[in-house]
Chains A and B, each alone.
Chain A
């Protein structure tokens, strides 16, 4: 933890860290709003695909069509959520590292991204997954990403 805080302190003195610390409150607020809207776009895109995998939503459409139709939203959501999140982190690295919910959130995010790049990618690129694999992946994906959101909300409370 001490090395993490020392690392965060060094980030605080980078050009980006300094610029964000001196940014106007309105700019930081804009980044916060982008973070929430990006998160919702990301979660909803994943929700639509995972509901289809579970057989609970848009069942009249082929999986590939649902995956294709939500891909752009998933990407925009990821870029906005992670991009704005990185900026928020750089605006106060020590504050976030020291927050009890932040490291759990980042661990969950890492886990969610690994599942996204492996299992989720595999299952959404074929119609031939076994129902168990498709459903298991959907439950894991939804649980992980919604937990990332919940842990993020907890940052404001702990």
Chain B
């Protein structure tokens, strides 16, 4: 089965059709997807600014990360869950939407970066998390995260213009 055929079956499913045709649920999920960004993308944006030394530069990285971690994960849960539901409803048109595809690539890069940062930080973070200046690799991770999460958000906003 081709990806396009699979996407058609997803959005033609009972749940996909019901979501797409709901006058209340669909806009509500869109709203949650947008506002959830203030927690997910927004909070990760500020922790990235900490990594590159712009936000709270004299506060240990671990304080900033741990002080917001719960909300960052809540935000990403909201954003991804609502995003999956929106995709379920519109898979057939999304799979051929260039803005959606670019957005997905940006998300994959940002996620790989986040996992790599978590793994590296877990191993040798202790040495620098309490210093003002993060090592080069951690600052680079901050820049990559800033760039690709921003690209994912801008890509999302562009989706209706290619639909």
Contact = CB atoms under 8 A, between A and B. Distances in A.
B43 A40 contact: no
A49 to B, nearest CB: 11
Contacts of A43: 35, 38, 42
A154 B38 contact: no
A47 B31 contact: no
A53 to B, nearest CB: 14
A73 B64 CA distance: 16
Minimum-distance CB pairs A-B, first 6: A44-B42, A43-B38, A58-B67, A157-B27, A153-B31, A150-B31
A61 B63 contact: yes
Interface in B12-34: 27, 30-31, 34
B39 A47 contact: yes
A64 interface: no
Interface string A114-137: 000000000000000000000000
Contacts of B27: 153-154, 157
Interface in B60-108: 63-64, 67-68, 70-71
B92 to A, nearest CB: 20
Interface string B41-65: 1110110000000011001000110
Given A65-B56, A69-B56, A157-B27, A40 B67 contact: no
